[in-house]
Structure 1
Amino acid sequence: MGEAGVRTGGDLVAETLAALGATTVFGEPGQHALALFDALRRSPLRYVGCRTELGVAFAADGHARATGTVTPFMVSTGPGALATLPALMESRLACAPVVGISSQIPSDGLGGRRKGYLHELPDQAASFRGVATSVQVVRAAAQIPSALAQAWEAALGVPQGPAWVEIPQDVLLAPTDVPPPADLSVRPRMPLPRAELVRQGVQALDSAANPVILAGGGASLSGAGPELLALAEKLRSPVATTFAAKGVFPHEHPLSLRSWLEDRYVTDFLEQADVLLVAGTGLGELSSNYHTMRPKGRVIHIEADSGKLEANTSGSLAVHADAKVTLGALAEAVRPREADGRAETAVAGVLRRVRDRLSGHEEEFALLEAIPTGVLSFWDMTILTYWAWSAFPGPMWSAQGAGGLGYALPAALGAASSGRRALAISGDGGAMYGLAELATMRQHDLDVTWLIVDDGGYGILREYMTDAFGAPTGTELVRPDFTALAASFGIPARTATPATLAGQLTDALDESGPNVVVLRARPRMFAQT
């Protein structure tokens, strides 16, 4: 209840979120949104407050990826709302189900009836229509439960992504007699494969002499690991995974090509397949070796986002469907093949040639080997992340969707808010985007280890500019003493070298609460071919 026990629109928002199954909400208060935050005091929702709105939305993204469930966040109007756009872009491209709830100026200012409100925009919602899967502006308290349920359903629908709801300040503050929601029905859409397409796919795979599978993030998000493994083993088909699908197929499996998608040896191997089954990826820039891959055989393309079908290929058997369901149907119907060892030998040969090409990068491999695979890890855009996309053996989450900086730490904070320890990995340039969230780590005593790879600047841009122009510009950075800065927040910090990193990380991850590890190293990027 609000003042004098009055129940408000803000209370109805909190009640609706709880009815939808939310347990945690991230946020940053602001003037128009105060009724939302006041209502959280009286709700069962756990509130995690970040220090910037960008951090709020990244934290919700990390929590959604770690839990596989919709995660809500709350921010205020205008600057607060707009500051979430880079994170929502990442959530959209990475298919992370988040629901952003923003306040709005009072209702009489919407539609131009009254002017001059603080944070006023002519059409705030328009800024989100190219980013969110669903955008709604609530006009009355009675609309709140339905609007939030629709946003929840949109966020969970395949392909998943962010949804956006705006509620005017006066609606949040006003008393309401709309009863708390007791039963909110959410039925997210899931496209199923058409039977005739499955039959065609089975016929193509059964007749293929050397089928190959490329599994993408959609396969991982749909939980298609068992179906993918069953299909690959029945077909004796090598499997490559995109960077977003790491972990969906066993890394050490003899049919695993792993994720060396920026290597020409792997690209050539995929191109030579007489049937290439692509499941859960739109074959975008990073999944197609920068649009250089040209498959010579038949392509079967399974994709839940219909807009990506044949966007980067032509003449494929296009199947608009969920990856798990479709791979399961194919695995059940294809004929099993004899395990004659030819595919395994071919895979081993490709991986050997890749490793031989990278023989001068032992330190970079050693750095990755020092990072454990059994912890939730969130990676900023840094040279070590580029290596991890290809070489890290376990699941990982990175900002590869939008490619923006500042993702790792707040995303790890969000994941840790689900009750599990998380690891954030940033370069010193990307770390500067997240320094404010050191306060969040300490205030909520979150189990997060932040590894900062300090190479003196924007390392990947330094290498790109040197290669392209002969010298870098604007890449060398003044940065703080990260260990002293962490200590000023009461957060334990330690420094590491490449030789001591494995031990320092092990110790840090074994501790409770937040801590920081600063690695002074200058990893080099491998040549992309």
Structure 2
Amino acid sequence: MSMGQRIVELLKQEGVRAVFSQGDITTRDVLMHAERAGLLTVGPRHEACAVFAAMGFYAVTGRPQAAFGAMGPGVANLLPAAVAASREHIPVLIFGARRHQGAAHAIRRGQWLSAPMEPLFAQICKFAVVVRHPAEIDDAMQEGFRRAVSGTPGPVYIEYDSMMHIQAWDYPALVPPSRYRAGPQGAPDAAIRAAAQMIGQAASPLLLAGEAVQHHRCQSLLVRLAEKLGGPVLTTFAGSGVIAASHPQALLFQSEAGQQAIARSDLVLAVGTCFPENANYGRLQAFAAHDEQRRFIALDTDLAAVGSNRPVDLAVPGDLELTLRQLIEALPERGLDSRLPEWKSLQAREHEAAVAAIPDRGALHPSRMMLEARQAIPDDTTIVLDGGLTIFYQHAFFEKRGADFIYGAHYSHLGCGLPQAVGVQLAQGRERPVCLITGDGALGFHFMELETAVRHHLPLVVLVNDDRALGAEVAAHMNHIGHTIEARFSEVRYDQMMIAMGGHGELVEHARDVQPAIRRAFASGKTALVQVRTDPQASHLEPHPFAAARASWINADVEDRYGR
């Protein structure tokens, strides 16, 4: 068979459902066999979006997907997305074509469609290899899957000569994944017993959940564990939505109530998080209060990651689903922390005060837009997030009611939201709604992926916070310069562009029109865009929500280590 067919067979037996690749000549045999094998074949308008879409697919399935790039510039376009996948700990198999090795290794200048890419991917990915013969593809892909999903997940890169995928080879029988890589492993019994004992001795345990809970599809297990613990549950920025905000134990990390709960805890059980910078590394700000009396337990898939950002007292390594089940089984029921009603009440008052403080200058404030949008977007909708300040308005005023909020909160790669939303909708099918909440700046990076969504008949709804600016940059420019330099945009009718592509588009300028427009967008059954014109002054006339928290992420660790 051809190497292209072999690649597809190896992908399919690993549970890969989608191949993201433009219809380039260097992937034509892979695409032909992928189509014949019943895999989704999805051609983005930009190669980076192949990786971003694969990331979105993984985020709601827990299964890595494949992205391909054409030789030369096509592979180079994959590189920034590979960085994002690496920083967000998302496994993607990235394939890159290159010129024939005779040309690739020649000492020449001015070669067409040629650049040495494998050394660059090797610096970013967990594994990078050049396949020099069709016989090598099995070893390369088996090692790729081993590395991608082991420990802390991440992308891998496999490069092959541009015409090699059409070459035939006499391959042996497929080796099933269970024979070339280890399956999910639970935690050692001793670690589970030690964790149960420490939790039993704690007076005020707190649970901190991260994005790995979502990636491993463990939301319901996390809630069961939380209810056994009885204490407050906080999530990192990337873990938003893994527990509903209405749950009696759920507190917003950035709220005063959340900070009080952290400061008064004597044990933190961290599940699927590395204690990232936007969670103050688990040792700064509120964590610094009484830290010497607080104990830490980390449930993580990667022993090498434990203790990197802060010391922990106990590591519980293993597959997250299995370790959660083990710990739930080992723990007795505890009653609810008596302070939770007080903290929930405090958080409600904080929110009411924040709503009351939303300015009304005549133009629609982005905070008000989020409040209106929450009332119109169905609760079971998977939310994908993108943008700068848009993220913060959303975090403060768009209640987390569902289980899936997709956001690359570690690297915050602007512009990846739209292709990720395409991947999410492809993974979930047409039955479950998907909504991208984005700023206009982020939307502009890969706007043409809306055509990809239309081409695949995806009922994706895009909600745009259109303040005609890069909001965070406007605020910085106004404070430092007194005017903006290339941080504002002209007025663009994104809704009309959406209609021109064959989708549904609406422009909204008043709060009263936001909900009806969103409901019509979902009802259309088409790829839809609701463009909400918001107050362009909001970004710099008042601090955005959680502005102080954001500043602490950036500055607190440096100041702690080196002083002000």
* TM-score (normalised: structure 1): 0.88
Residue-by-residue CA offset, 1:243-284 (whole Å, 9 max, x unaligned):
222332233121111xx3234542242122111212211111
- The alignment status of 1:369 with 2:369, answered yes or no, reads no
- Within the candidate set 457, 464, 489, 1:445 is matched to 457
**1:20: how far off?**
3.2
CA gap 1:360/1:281 in 2 versus in 1, 3 angstroms: same
State the partner residue of 1:305: 302
Cα distance in structure 2, aligned partners of 1:223 and 1:443: 29
State the partner residue of 2:130: 137
- Within the candidate set 514, 526, 529, 2:545 is matched to 526
Residue-by-residue CA offset, 1:293-312 (whole Å, 9 max, x unaligned):
43421222222233432222
- Within the candidate set 6, 19, 22, 1:12 is matched to 6
Cα distance in structure 2, aligned partners of 1:404 and 1:373: 26
Is the CA contact (8 Å cut-off) linking 1:59 and 1:410 kept in structure 2? yes
**1:141: how far off?**
0.9
State the partner residue of 1:501: 514
**1:158: how far off?**
4.2
- Within the candidate set 143, 146, 153, 2:139 is matched to 146
- The alignment status of 1:168 with 2:161, answered yes or no, reads yes
State the partner residue of 1:325: 322
Cα distance in structure 2, aligned partners of 1:405 and 1:35: 33
Q: Which moved more, 1:9-18 or 1:493-502?
A: 9-18
State the partner residue of 2:265: 273
- The alignment status of 1:44 with 2:38, answered yes or no, reads yes
Is the CA contact (8 Å cut-off) linking 1:449 and 1:509 kept in structure 2? yes
Aligned 1:138-217 pairs, distance under 5 A: 138-178=131-171, 181=174, 183-185=176-178, 187-188=181-182, 190=184, 192-217=186-211
Q: Classify the secondary structure of the residue corresponding to 1:130.
A: helix
**1:126: how far off?**
1.7
Residue-by-residue CA offset, 1:467-500 (whole Å, 9 max, x unaligned):
5666544321125321222222222211123322
Q: Classify the secondary structure of the residue corresponding to 2:348.
A: helix
Cα distance in structure 1, aligned partners of 2:297 and 2:422: 39
One-letter amino acid matched to 1:98: V
State the partner residue of 2:87: 93
One-letter amino acid matched to 1:137: V
Q: Classify the secondary structure of the residue corresponding to 2:445.
A: coil
CA gap 1:173/1:63 in 2 versus in 1, 3 angstroms: same
- Within the candidate set 71, 96, 121, 2:115 is matched to 121
Cα distance in structure 1, aligned partners of 2:421 and 2:9: 27
CA gap 1:43/1:195 in 2 versus in 1, 3 angstroms: closer
State the partner residue of 1:3: none
Q: Which moved more, 1:452-461 or 1:180-189?
A: 180-189
After superposing on structure 2, the runs of 4+ consecutive aligned residues of structure 1 that deviate more than 6 Å are none
Q: Classify the secondary structure of the residue corresponding to 1:244.
A: coil
**1:39: how far off?**
4.8
Residue-by-residue CA offset, 1:317-342 (whole Å, 9 max, x unaligned):
33333333333333333343345x61
CA gap 1:17/1:232 in 2 versus in 1, 3 angstroms: closer
Is the CA contact (8 Å cut-off) linking 2:204 and 2:266 kept in structure 1? yes
Is the CA contact (8 Å cut-off) linking 1:263 and 1:289 kept in structure 2? no
Residue-by-residue CA offset, 1:27-68 (whole Å, 9 max, x unaligned):
124454454445556543331111111222211211222333
Residue-by-residue CA offset, 1:393-421 (whole Å, 9 max, x unaligned):
13211232321121121112222223234
Q: Which moved more, 1:323-332 or 1:508-517?
A: 323-332
One-letter amino acid matched to 1:161: G
- The alignment status of 1:354 with 2:350, answered yes or no, reads yes
Cα distance in structure 1, aligned partners of 2:331 and 2:493: 59
**1:231: how far off?**
3.0
Residue-by-residue CA offset, 1:111-170 (whole Å, 9 max, x unaligned):
447776423223x11211233222222111112233223323433334333222111124
CA gap 1:117/1:450 in 2 versus in 1, 3 angstroms: same
* TM-score (normalised: structure 2): 0.83
One-letter amino acid matched to 2:391: T
Residue-by-residue CA offset, 1:173-206 (whole Å, 9 max, x unaligned):
3333336747454645546433333333222211
Cα distance in structure 2, aligned partners of 1:372 and 1:466: 38
Q: Classify the secondary structure of the residue corresponding to 2:206.
A: strand
CA RMSD in angstroms comes to 2.8
**1:110: how far off?**
4.3
Aligned residue-pair number: 519
Q: Classify the secondary structure of the residue corresponding to 2:285.
A: coil
Is the CA contact (8 Å cut-off) linking 1:381 and 1:427 kept in structure 2? yes
One-letter amino acid matched to 1:487: I
One-letter amino acid matched to 1:375: T
- Within the candidate set 463, 475, 489, 2:487 is matched to 475
Q: Which moved more, 1:511-520 or 1:325-334?
A: 325-334
Is the CA contact (8 Å cut-off) linking 2:213 and 2:272 kept in structure 1? yes
Residue-by-residue CA offset, 1:414-472 (whole Å, 9 max, x unaligned):
22223234222221111111222232123222222222221111123323444566654
One-letter amino acid matched to 1:457: A
One-letter amino acid matched to 1:220: Q
One-letter amino acid matched to 1:378: V
Larger helix proportion, structure 1 or 2? Answer: 2
Cα distance in structure 2, aligned partners of 1:212 and 1:202: 14
Q: Classify the secondary structure of the residue corresponding to 1:369.
A: helix
Unaligned runs of 5+ in 2: 359-366, 549-564
State the partner residue of 2:559: none
CA gap 1:219/1:515 in 2 versus in 1, 3 angstroms: closer
Is the CA contact (8 Å cut-off) linking 1:236 and 1:343 kept in structure 2? no
Cα distance in structure 1, aligned partners of 2:107 and 2:133: 17
Is the CA contact (8 Å cut-off) linking 2:151 and 2:303 kept in structure 1? no
Is the CA contact (8 Å cut-off) linking 2:228 and 2:331 kept in structure 1? yes
Q: Which moved more, 1:407-416 or 1:462-471?
A: 462-471
- Within the candidate set 214, 218, 222, 1:224 is matched to 218
Aligned 1:21-40 pairs, distance under 5 A: 21-30=15-24, 32-37=26-31, 39-40=33-34
Unaligned runs of 5+ in 1: 1-6
Aligned 1:223-262 pairs, distance under 5 A: 223-257=217-251, 260-262=252-254
Cα distance in structure 2, aligned partners of 1:221 and 1:286: 19
One-letter amino acid matched to 2:247: H
Q: Which moved more, 1:442-451 or 1:424-433?
A: 442-451
- The alignment status of 1:292 with 2:299, answered yes or no, reads no
State the partner residue of 2:502: 490
Is the CA contact (8 Å cut-off) linking 2:238 and 2:408 kept in structure 1? no
Is the CA contact (8 Å cut-off) linking 1:261 and 1:288 kept in structure 2? no
CA gap 1:13/1:201 in 2 versus in 1, 3 angstroms: closer
State the partner residue of 1:4: none
Cα distance in structure 2, aligned partners of 1:435 and 1:365: 22
Cα distance in structure 2, aligned partners of 1:41 and 1:315: 48
One-letter amino acid matched to 2:278: L
Is the CA contact (8 Å cut-off) linking 1:214 and 1:240 kept in structure 2? yes
- The alignment status of 1:72 with 2:66, answered yes or no, reads yes
One-letter amino acid matched to 1:512: G
Q: Which moved more, 1:162-171 or 1:87-96?
A: 87-96
- Within the candidate set 322, 334, 339, 1:337 is matched to 334
One-letter amino acid matched to 1:410: P
- The alignment status of 1:403 with 2:412, answered yes or no, reads yes
Is the CA contact (8 Å cut-off) linking 2:275 and 2:281 kept in structure 1? no
